């Protein structure tokens, strides 16, 4: 998963019922971007890969060894 851009944040916020203007979308991108960059090295290796909607699946999934 890559750092979200303001162009990606605006429609996500709108769908969530919190429309934002360009300036706010840029501020959101700048504030959460470092978290995405910090996980970039291990992205794709975690059972839920930064996607909260998959947490319940990852928590209940049986791991084969």
The C-alpha atoms of residue 16 and residue 56 are separated, in whole angstroms, by 21
Entry pTM = 0.57
Question: For residues 50 and 10, which has the higher predicted lDDT (pLDDT)?
Answer: 10
pLDDT above 70 (res 8): yes
Domain that holds residue 54: 6-62
Tally of domains within the chain: 1
- pLDDT tens-digit readout, 14-28: 888 888 999 999 998
Domain membership flag for residue 47: yes
Mean pLDDT of the chain: 77
- pLDDT tens-digit readout, 41-56: 776 676 655 555 555 6
Largest interatomic CA distance in the chain = 48
Domain membership flag for residue 49: yes
Cα torsion for 25, 27, 30, 35, to the nearest 10°?
-80
Burial (CB count within 10 angstroms: exposed 0-12, middle 13-18, buried 19+), residue 25: buried
Domain membership flag for residue 39: yes
**Geometric angle at alpha carbon 42, from 39 and 47, rounded to 5°:** 105
Domain membership flag for residue 1: no
Predicted local distance difference test score (pLDDT) of residue 6: 92
Domain membership flag for residue 32: yes
């Amino acid at each position: 998963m890559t750092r979200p851009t303001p162009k990606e944040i605006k429609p996500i916020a709108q769908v969530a019922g919190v429309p934002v203007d360009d300036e706010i979308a840029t501020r959101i991108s700048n504030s959460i971007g470092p978290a995405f960059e910090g996980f970039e090295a291990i992205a794709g290796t975690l059972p839920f890969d930064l996607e909260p909607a998959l947490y319940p699946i990852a928590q209940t999934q049986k791991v084969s060894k």
